[in-house]
Amino acid sequence: MAKKDYYKTLGIDKSASKEEIKKAYKKLAMKYHPDRSKEADAEAKFKEINEAKDTLTDDQKRSNYDQYGNSDGPQGFGGFGGGNSGGFGGGFNMDDIFSQFGFGGDSGFGGGRSQKQQKDTRIYAQTEISLEDVYFGIEKKITISRDGKCSTCDGLGAENPADISTCGNCGGSGMVLETKRTILGMIRTQSPCPKCSGSGQSVKNPCHNCHGSGCEKENQKVSIKIPKGIENGVTLRVSNKGDFDKETQTYGDLYLKIYVKPSKEYEVNEADLYKTININFVQATLGDETEFKHFDKTLNLKIPEGTQPGTTLRLKGKGLPHMNYSSHGNLYIKINVEIPTKTSKKQKEILLDYAKTAEDKPFIKRMKNLFS
């Protein structure tokens, strides 16, 4: 499948900054939004520019896209289509191939990468919010469990800094070279140093509290700003709220998945809301204007004369706010006409008089028999 050119989609250069990307996206989103645009393929273009923006404003996804042609990174063999090394019908990354045989990250062909094994410092959590929180936005406090910096050794792994020295086995690189015999011949590979576990350091007397890891478990309360208009299932990335890494002396990121609780009043489809309102048959016949509460305001709904049961009326711009640009979805009101189960004698007489004007003699006869 041909690679989508996200830069061309947004009309920007490959060197564009995040601000330039967001500016270009906002301009196109306003142009192709299905509620605004009259173009036949507006919805498809709108989805495409959203996909481009989501990829290019995420550092990891953008890096993967620039290198591999997709936001997920290398796909293993994948028909030999990924990566950027030459040969073998279109190019692929030799490191990916050799990893399939159980070797480390350096195949010996690419120029000898030498880097310490890095800890995965990402952590994941989830939280639940109400539809009102989606409408207004909310700053929510949650408790996370993570690897924090050791309070005893300040994240060094040793209480005395003099006890930390360069690993003699790998020379501080964190990696060691090995030569292995494979089906392709003798291959030199690189793997994490078994002596220092890829840290590049040797600790003579590890910290008694963290046992040399530089970390200790902690529960921390964090306040997360959840933007209005967020959709169910979206994951927010919160910087510096992940696990602590002794080697880099930095914290990773928290990935917080948002779930929106079902509403008793509304059904939700992206930014559009759907609500059912009951009216009586007189209102439906003669028309009326009714009020109902909508989050923090009261809305007026004009019911046209002769409204049929099941009719859907649209209140433009009264839905949920969009997360990525400054407009709202629509509110759709489904009309349910209630038929009374009991009527008084006077009401029956009025209905009979009305039936006489319907010029339906069989119907009038049945009504008279019914009321008599």
Which of 309, 232, 318, 241 has its CA nearest to residue 272?
Answer: 318
Q: How far is residue 372's CA from residue 355's CA, in Å, rounded to a whole number?
A: 15
Q: How far is residue 71's CA from residue 20's CA, in Å, rounded to a whole number?
A: 20
Q: What is the pLDDT of residue 91?
A: 42
Pairing of strands 331-338, 272-280: parallel
Region 249-263: mean pLDDT is 94
Q: How far is residue 223's CA from residue 129's CA, in Å, rounded to a whole number?
A: 14
pLDDT at residue 300 tops 70: yes
H helix intervals, 11-163: 18-32, 42-56, 59-68, 94-99, 131-136
pLDDT at residue 107 tops 50: no
| Pair 348, 53: CB distance under 8 Å | no
Q: What is the pLDDT of residue 353?
A: 81
Positions of CATH 2.60.260.20 in the chain: 117-153+211-261, 267-339
| Pair 320, 328: CB distance under 8 Å | yes
Predicted confidence band at 153 (pLDDT cuts at 50, 70, 90)? Answer: very high
| Pair 253, 240: CB distance under 8 Å | yes
Count of residues in the chain: 372
Region 74-91: mean pLDDT is 42
Cβ neighbourhood burial of 83 (10 Å; 0-12, 13-18, 19+): buried
Number of alpha carbons in the 13 Å side-chain half-sphere of residue 141: 3
Q: How far is residue 311's CA from residue 36's CA, in Å, rounded to a whole number?
A: 24
Q: How far is residue 239's CA from residue 251's CA, in Å, rounded to a whole number?
A: 8
Residues paired with 12 in a beta bridge: none
Which of 118, 111, 66, 370 has its CA nearest to residue 246?
Answer: 118
Structure confidence by residue, pLDDT tens digits, 217-255: 999 999 999 999 999 999 999 999 999 998 888 999 999
Tokens 């009979």 locate to 352
CATH architecture for the domain at 267-339: Sandwich (2.60)
pLDDT at residue 74 tops 90: no
Phi, psi at 253, each rounded to 5°:
-110, 150
Predicted confidence band at 66 (pLDDT cuts at 50, 70, 90)? Answer: confident
- What lies within 8 Å, CB to CB, of 185 at 6+ separation is none
Number of alpha carbons in the 13 Å side-chain half-sphere of residue 261: 10
Q: What is the pLDDT of residue 101?
A: 45
Structure confidence by residue, pLDDT tens digits, 156-210: 889 888 888 888 888 888 888 888 777 767 788 788 888 887 778 888 889 999 9
pLDDT at residue 128 tops 70: yes
pLDDT at residue 267 tops 90: yes
Q: What is the pLDDT of residue 64?
A: 82
Element holding 177 (H helix, E strand): strand 175-182
Q: What is the pLDDT of residue 62?
A: 87
Q: How far is residue 47's CA from residue 37's CA, in Å, rounded to a whole number?
A: 13
Pairing of strands 272-280, 267-269: antiparallel
Q: How far is residue 153's CA from residue 205's CA, in Å, rounded to a whole number?
A: 11
Tokens 């009020």 locate to 291
Distances 329 to 46, 270, 308 between C-alpha atoms, Å: 15, 8, 25
Structure confidence by residue, pLDDT tens digits, 14-36: 888 888 898 888 888 888 877 77
Rg (CA), the chain: 32
What does DSSP assign to residue 210?
Answer: T
Element holding 333 (H helix, E strand): strand 331-338
Phi, psi at 63, each rounded to 5°:
-60, -45
Domain spanning 117-153+211-261: CATH 2.60.40.1190: no
Which of 273, 267, 278 has its CA nearest to residue 331?
Answer: 273
Q: What is the pLDDT of residue 111?
A: 38
